[in-house]
Amino acid sequence: MKTFNHLLRTAVLTVAFAIVAPSAMAQGLDVPSRNLPVPDSVSPQIQKLIAAPRRAGWDVLPKTGQEWKPVAEAAAAGTLKALPGLIDRMKVRVEKTTFDGVRAFIVTPERVGADNLNRVLIHMHGGCYVLSPGEAGLPEAVMMAGLGGFKVISVDYRMPPEAYFPAALDDGMAAYKHALKTTPAKNIAIFGTSAGGALTLEMVLRAKQLGLPMPAAIAPGTPMSDVTKVGDTFYTNEFVDNVLVSRDGFCDAGAKVYSAGHDMKDPLISPVYGDMSGFPPTILTSGTRDLLLSNTVRVHRKLRQAGIEAVLQVYEGQSHAHYLRDDSAPETREVFAEISGFFSRHMGK
């Protein structure tokens, strides 16, 4: 009898073989220029995000941590201006703290969910390993706390020029170890988007290396899981995604500066190449226009091939992390409801 596991093992072995086989395919597909209308199949809020022009300065590529600093500060200004309103709408309290030398924010909802009293989430913010320092990294944590009713520790990890690979990962691990002192792993989940999604995966890989217990669940949103330019949507969604725009844009330039010459194929910076056996249940989020859709679905397949419960959510028309842009959009509410529900089903009480 052919069982599911047998079939999946066969698939995994064959894929493993295929990866080492050399590709003889050089030819590509020529695609003509096109105008992409704003779809009717999403809410007006998401339509507005889709209709926005490409990110200004997407092709500005700072080459050092020092060059990134003013870029990051300028990008943070808008976020910081909008943050008080978001905190107010989400009815959360934010406290600045440090533990073991690591900076973080504790985000606590006015009403913690009854099932969530003994649970804590660790949040790793996005920003290509160089953007969203300090409070600018908070919006996703604030939405998760407010919409999900969870207590969230948002890690203000070190970034260039303060520190380089693996500083962000080390700070995330320090936060995880700190949480483990007071909370069992089964009551901890980790989440984040973009670089934060990659860091979420990297933290699980690192926890495995260190023999730490696995968190109950993780939610990597559109993770930068491959910084080596492998992935089909780096090409198909180039100039289609109005946030990242291109693999040859600002975001991978940030990852390159953070890596400081470290091998980009190391699973601790390109986690799609990691061994995902033993991973906790995982919920992944992306969009049909997302430059990192391939980065997301490739992680999904790797997890499934390793026999892990892994759930994929792809939102219509959205570019990279559009779901974090407007807390009034029904799709944003839906993303956080899916993640909260997934966490609740997998976390202890």
Q: Closest Cα partner for 94 from 135, 126, 123, 131?
A: 135
Dihedral sign for Cα atoms in the order 117, 194, 31, 300: negative
- Cα 155 vs. chain centroid, distance in angstroms? 14
Q: Residue 283 Cβ, how far from a copy of itself at the closest point, in Å?
A: 11
Residue whose CB is less far from a copy of itself, 102 or 284:
284
Residue whose CB is less far from a copy of itself, 1 or 56:
1
- Two tokens, residue 322: 């559009």
Identify residue 126 by its one-letter amino acid code: G
Q: Residue 9 Cβ, how far from a copy of itself at the closest point, in Å?
A: 9
Residue whose CB is less far from a copy of itself, 177 or 325:
325
Q: Residue 179 Cβ, how far from a copy of itself at the closest point, in Å?
A: 22
Q: Residue 174 Cβ, how far from a copy of itself at the closest point, in Å?
A: 30
Residue whose CB is less far from a copy of itself, 30 or 95:
30
Alpha-carbon distance 199 to 299, whole Å? 13
Residue whose CB is less far from a copy of itself, 8 or 174:
8
- Two tokens, residue 291: 């430059």
Q: Residue 39 Cβ, how far from a copy of itself at the closest point, in Å?
A: 4
- Two tokens, residue 77: 């200004």
Identify residue 238 by its one-letter amino acid code: E
Residue whose CB is less far from a copy of itself, 28 or 261:
28
User: Cβ of 189: how many Cβ atoms within 10 Å?
Assistant: 30
Alpha-carbon distance 63 to 189, whole Å? 34
Q: Residue 222 Cβ, how far from a copy of itself at the closest point, in Å?
A: 13
Q: How many residues does the chain have?
A: 349
- For tokens 């260039």, what's the residue? 160
- For tokens 């993770």, what's the residue? 223
